[in-house]
């Protein structure tokens, strides 16, 4: 079984995941628009100003600030948190679909393992990546603060962030492979071991970059005629890109994990 | 308060008056410009200054020969000098007390000063020491002014020559002067005669926390010595450069300027360009620290574009050279400051497009505009700061509009664009009340209030005039003011006279004096449309400065505009048909309204703006995909 087979097998689920996220986003966007319109209705020009770069205009802030912004941000935050929590079971269902079945009976056990693994993985990420992200740029800053050429300072500080980013990318790839292993019913520590062996940091970054490009394209197209349609096509592309990464992660775990049969 | 209840008839009448106003405006726009005045009133003032910079002690050892003529109509028995650097002597000076020992976010970090060691008057019988007997207590709280008695009164028109020796100690860069590492901005560094007004009073003042300068026009001949391997730029044109005793000696000359500064460092990188205007060529020299190449090219581009724009509007730049200094990081205390024929700009080493109002474009255009408003039109910056900073701020916004377009003149990033003058309006009109823009600097207690009133509100008043009566007319008005007052020292009355000449005697009386000297707003209140018997009745009221406005009516059958003349404090519309929403000044011409929320009313809910839903959806999808499976 290779990644392509798994990707094809989960096409329906991938589409369903996309529809779900789009539906949640559309609901939130409608709520957002409704709240803004509700706040702006007594002052019709405010909404027109909003469409022409008005969000910073004092009237826009005054209009929306009183009633709309607080509850809106709270609702959006709650929605994101809920979707974030739902992402673990959703990803397991998605991975099961790639395996050709959704093992509902095993899902609760796997869900507990996935949550446990995520908590375990948070610790090294926070300590190592967080420590590197703060310490290295600071060291560089103090060493080159007085240099006449500011590029030495600024570009060095940016470059000093790279080790932390590399750690974060490695961690993300590791976390995904761990979840792919857990979907094969591996215990937590075996999954952690299999996920670490799978590696694939570079490939992860390539997928991330492709997703970022698709996002940039959808933002740019959103303002054009037919922007809604083209932006939606690019969003769909991002979901399928993620499906492709999951399929490759699962195939890689199958090849490398000691407790699993070798990939066909 | 008058009321206009003629409804549709009023609209027809006022439409004709708009056409008449437009025709008048076109006729004015085609009238020839006033040629710039090219001669200062004070023709016999001359400073010959020699300076040696010691970069180890950050001291400038200087001497000078000053020729000065009593240009007033009364005899004078004393001379008054400014010693601005004395403001940094200790924490008790007027500057330190008023500024709270900080300026534009840069804190005072150590002392500076200006010791005048000798001041002698040349007479036929020899030199007379003017310092002896002078009340110049070294422990005084503020020594930024030096007053010396003359041995005898000087008649109107009489000329004297003075010899002066001094040591200027530069502070770590703060409030326009000082050093940062090897970078030295040597400004306000010599004893400079205060301006003697026509009535014989000295326009002298301590160095104020928010105030700048005021001086006579003079010819400056400046010789600067810096260590070998160093470079320096200064006010005027470099006439010679030679190596003497391990030093580089440079000589700069410039006439018709009211100040002279020099900037020195061992690492300058240079960019040069020529600006052509008519038969004049101006050499533009830009110096910058290593690594600032990208930003420097943008600074130069903006300088050249703005030179052309300001030259067209306010009269051609009259000097042979313009020098732009890009300061290094950390020298923020000296950044963004104008001097005659030289200015220091500001900004990061990398040109970031899309933020004209915050970065290179705005600072460079602003400091360049000062070449006209204070450089050539040399107003009293302490008494009427709006005449330099306020007019300059408007000229800056106007230049940025010409460069980027109105909608993008403030911000243009990630699909969000913002009108620069709307940002200035937000700065100027929201928050606690401030003194009026026409106030002196001594009326301000907080730098934020000073910025909002002097920079922000003056610019907003000018832009309101530009958008209400046409930009070309305002260009003509300020062009007339800048040309006729070039190399003079005008008061607000001269500015108002230029406005009255262009618009009529009501402009200063009804608009500018209330808005600038009193700080009046111009706000509108629109009543809810009432639909009855197939007609729509709406009441609109305006308060404060009376401005003509357009009113947009919308209904199921479309939309139409009605003109609301300035003379009508209230407008009672009684229109046939169903008009469900009304919007006064829909194109935001009147920026003096601090809250536009009551400028529009509707009986219908507002529709979601086109594109808002799509943009929100795109961003929310990305967020969900980021946290999702």
The 10s digit of each residue's pLDDT in A154-169 is 999 999 999 999 999 9
Q: How far is it, in rounded angstroms, from Cα A48 to Cα A40?
A: 10
Question: Contact B541/B570 with Cβ under 8 angstroms?
Answer: yes
Of A26, A37, A94, the CB nearest to B608: A37
* Cβ contacts of A220 on chain B, cutoff 8 Å: 415
Closest CA to B515 of B624, B591, B441: B591
* Cβ contacts of A15 on chain B, cutoff 8 Å: none
Which of helix, strand or coil describes residue B605? coil
Q: How far is it, in rounded angstroms, from Cα A235 to Cα B621?
A: 7
Q: How far is it, in rounded angstroms, from Cα B177 to Cα B185?
A: 5
Overall average pLDDT of the A118-146 stretch: 91
- Please give the residue of chain A at the shortest CA–CA distance from B583: A45
Task: Sketch out chain B's domains with CATH numbers.
Answer: 46-266 (2.60.40.1730), 277-282+289-319+328-519 (1.10.390.10), 523-602 (2.60.40)
* Cβ contacts of B527 on chain A, cutoff 8 Å: none
Domain range for A7: 3-256
Is A230 at the interface with chain B, CB within 8 A? no
Tokens linked to B251: 């000589």
Chain A / chain B CB contacts < 8 angstroms: 180
| B518 DSSP assignment | I
Which of helix, strand or coil describes residue B29? helix
The 10s digit of each residue's pLDDT in B443-457 is 999 989 999 999 999
Question: Contact B257/B281 with Cβ under 8 angstroms?
Answer: no
* Cβ contacts of B623 on chain A, cutoff 8 Å: 25, 80
User: Which of B345-354, B553-562, B595-604 is the least confident region?
Assistant: B595-604
Provide φ and ψ at B489, rounded to 5°: -130, 70
Polymer length in residues for chain B: 629
| B62 membership: H or E segment, kind and range | strand B59-69
The answer to whether position A264 is within a domain reads no
Overall average pLDDT of the B456-477 stretch: 97
pLDDT band at residue A17, thresholds of 50, 70 and 90?
very high
Which of helix, strand or coil describes residue A217? helix
pLDDT band at residue B87, thresholds of 50, 70 and 90?
very high
pLDDT band at residue B21, thresholds of 50, 70 and 90?
very low
Among A4-8, B50-54, B568-572, which range has the highest average pLDDT? Answer: B50-54
| B219 half-sphere exposure, CB direction, 13 A CA radius | 13
Closest CA to B269 of B288, B295, B294: B288
| B581 membership: H or E segment, kind and range | strand B581-584
Q: How far is it, in rounded angstroms, from Cα B603 to Cα B84?
A: 61
- What is the total count of domains within chain A? 1
The 10s digit of each residue's pLDDT in B171-182 is 999 999 999 999
Tokens linked to B121: 């008057």
Of B598, B601, B624, the CB nearest to A83: B624
Q: How far is it, in rounded angstroms, from Cα B330 to Cα B105?
A: 12
Q: How far is it, in rounded angstroms, from Cα B456 to Cα B435?
A: 12
User: Which of A165-169, B298-302, B435-439, B600-604 is the least confident region?
Assistant: B600-604
Closest CA to B82 of B228, B198, B208, B181: B208
The 10s digit of each residue's pLDDT in B524-547 is 999 989 999 999 999 999 999 999
pLDDT band at residue B356, thresholds of 50, 70 and 90?
confident
The 10s digit of each residue's pLDDT in B135-163 is 777 778 999 999 999 999 999 999 999 99
| B111 half-sphere exposure, CB direction, 13 A CA radius | 9
The 10s digit of each residue's pLDDT in A19-65 is 999 999 998 888 887 777 777 766 666 555 554 444 556 677 777 76
Closest chain B C-alpha to A168 CA, distance in angstroms: 15
Task: Please determine, for residue B278, whether its predicted confidence score (pLDDT) is greater than 70.
Answer: yes
Question: Contact B42/B71 with Cβ under 8 angstroms?
Answer: yes
Tokens linked to B248: 């580089």
Overall average pLDDT of the B580-602 stretch: 87
Overall average pLDDT of the A202-224 stretch: 89
Q: Mark which residues 161-200 of A lie under 8 Å from B by CB.
A: none
pLDDT at B521: 95
Task: Please determine, for residue B482, whether its predicted confidence score (pLDDT) is greater than 90.
Answer: yes
User: What mean pLDDT, rounded, does chain B reach?
Assistant: 90
| B69 DSSP assignment | E
Q: How far is it, in rounded angstroms, from Cα A55 to Cα A48?
A: 11
CB contact (8 A) between residue B621 and residue A25: yes
DSSP string over A174-199: HHHHHHHHHTTT--HHHHHHHHHHH-
CB contact (8 A) between residue B291 and residue A150: yes
Question: Contact B219/B47 with Cβ under 8 angstroms?
Answer: yes
Provide φ and ψ at B364, rounded to 5°: -65, -45
pLDDT band at residue A244, thresholds of 50, 70 and 90?
very high
| B488 DSSP assignment | B
Is A225 at the interface with chain B, CB within 8 A? no
Is B413 at the interface with chain A, CB within 8 A? no
CB contact (8 A) between residue B430 and residue A239: no
């Amino acid at each position: 079984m290779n990644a392509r087979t798994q990707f094809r097998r989960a096409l329906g689920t991938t589409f369903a995941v996309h529809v779900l996220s789009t539906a949640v986003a559309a609901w939130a966007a409608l709520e957002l628009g409704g709240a803004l319109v509700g706040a702006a209705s007594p002052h019709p020009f405010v909404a027109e100003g909003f469409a022409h770069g008005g969000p910073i205009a004092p009237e826009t802030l005054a209009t929306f600030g009183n009633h709309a912004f607080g509850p809106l941000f709270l609702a959006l935050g709650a929605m994101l948190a809920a979707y974030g929590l739902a992402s673990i079971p959703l990803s397991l269902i998605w991975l099961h679909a790639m395996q050709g079945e959704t093992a509902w009976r095993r899902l609760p056990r796997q869900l507990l393992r996935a949550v446990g693994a995520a908590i375990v993985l948070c610790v090294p990420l926070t300590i190592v990546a967080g420590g590197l992200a703060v310490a290295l740029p600071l060291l560089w800053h103090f060493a080159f603060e007085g240099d006449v050429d500011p590029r030495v300072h600024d570009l060095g500080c940016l470059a000093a962030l790279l080790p932390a980013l590399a750690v974060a990318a490695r961690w993300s790839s590791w976390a995904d492979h761990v979840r792919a292993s857990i979907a094969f019913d591996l215990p937590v520590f075996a999954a952690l071991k299999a996920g670490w062996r799978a590696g694939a940091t570079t490939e992860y970054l390539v997928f991330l970059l492709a997703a970022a490009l698709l996002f940039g394209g959808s933002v740019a197209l959103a303002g054009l005629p037919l922007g809604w349609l083209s932006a939606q096509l690019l969003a769909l592309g991002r979901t399928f890109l993620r499906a492709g990464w999951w399929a490759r992660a699962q195939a890689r775990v199958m090849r490398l994990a000691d407790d699993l049969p070798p990939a066909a | 308060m008058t009321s206009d209840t003629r409804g549709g008839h009023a609209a027809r009448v006022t439409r004709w008056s708009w056409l008449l106003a437009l025709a008048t405006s076109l006729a004015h726009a085609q009238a020839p410009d006033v040629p710039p005045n090219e001669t200062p009133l004070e023709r016999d003032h001359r400073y010959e200054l020699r300076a040696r910079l010691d970069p180890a002690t950050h001291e400038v050892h200087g001497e000078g020969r000053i020729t000065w003529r009593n240009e007033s109509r009364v005899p004078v028995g004393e001379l008054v000098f400014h010693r601005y650097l004395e403001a940094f002597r200790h924490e008790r000076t007027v500057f330190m007390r008023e500024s709270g020992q900080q300026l534009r976010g840069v804190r005072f970090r150590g002392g500076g000063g200006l010791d005048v060691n000798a001041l002698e008057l040349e007479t036929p019988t020899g030199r007379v020491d003017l310092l002896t007997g002078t009340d110049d207590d070294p422990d005084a709280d503020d020594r930024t002014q030096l007053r010396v008695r003359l041995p005898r009164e000087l008649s109107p028109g009489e000329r004297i020559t003075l010899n002066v020796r001094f040591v200027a100690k530069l502070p770590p860069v703060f409030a326009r002067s000082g050093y940062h590492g090897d970078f030295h901005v040597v400004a306000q560094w010599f004893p400079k005669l205060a301006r003697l007004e026509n009535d014989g009073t000295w326009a002298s003042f301590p160095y104020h926390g928010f105030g700048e300068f005021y001086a006579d026009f003079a010819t400056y001949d400046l010789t600067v010595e810096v260590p070998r391997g160093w470079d320096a730029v200064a006010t005027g044109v470099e006439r010679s450069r030679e190596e003497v005793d391990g030093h580089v000696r440079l000589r700069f000359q410039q006439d018709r300027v009211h100040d002279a500064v020099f900037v020195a460092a061992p690492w300058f990188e240079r960019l040069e360009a020529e600006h052509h205007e008519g038969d004049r060529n101006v050499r533009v020299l830009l110096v910058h620290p290593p690594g600032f190449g990208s930003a420097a090219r943008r600074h130069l581009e903006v300088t050249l574009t703005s030179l052309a724009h300001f030259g067209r509007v306010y009269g051609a730049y009259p000097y042979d050279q313009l020098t732009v200094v890009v300061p290094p990081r950390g020298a923020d205390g000296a950044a963004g400051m104008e001097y005659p024929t030289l200015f220091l700009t500001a900004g990061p080493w990398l040109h970031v497009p899309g933020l004209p109002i915050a970065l290179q474009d705005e600072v460079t255009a602003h400091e360049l505009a000062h070449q006209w408003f204070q450089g050539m039109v040399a107003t009293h910056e302490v008494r009427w700061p709006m005449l330099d900073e306020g007019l300059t701020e408007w000229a800056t916004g106007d230049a940025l509009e010409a460069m980027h377009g109105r909608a993008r003149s403030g911000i243009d990033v990630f699909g969000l664009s913002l009108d620069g003058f709307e940002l200035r309006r937000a700065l100027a009109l929201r928050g606690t009340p401030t003194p009026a823009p026409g106030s002196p600097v001594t009326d301000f207690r907080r730098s934020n209030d000073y910025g909002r009133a002097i920079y922000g509100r003056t610019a907003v008043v000018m832009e309101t005039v530009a958008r209400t009566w046409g930009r070309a007319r305002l260009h003509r008005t300020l062009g007339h003011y800048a040309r006729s007052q070039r190399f003079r020292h005008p008061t607000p009355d001269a500015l108002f006279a230029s406005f009255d000449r262009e618009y009529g005697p009501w402009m200063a009386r009804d608009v500018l004096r209330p808005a600038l000297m009193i700080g009046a707003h111009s706000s509108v209140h629109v009543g809810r449309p009432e639909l009855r018997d197939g007609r729509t009745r709406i009441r609109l009221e305006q308060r404060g400065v009376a401005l003509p406005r357009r009113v947009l009516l919308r209904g199921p059958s479309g939309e139409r505009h009605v003109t609301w003349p300035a003379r009508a404090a209230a407008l009672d519309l009684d229109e046939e048909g169903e008009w469900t929403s009304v919007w006064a000044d829909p194109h935001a011409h009147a920026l003096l309204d601090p809250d536009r929320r009551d400028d529009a009313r509707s009986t219908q809910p507002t529709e979601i703006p086109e594109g808002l839903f799509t943009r929100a959806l795109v961003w929310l999808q990305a967020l969900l995909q980021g946290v999702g499976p």
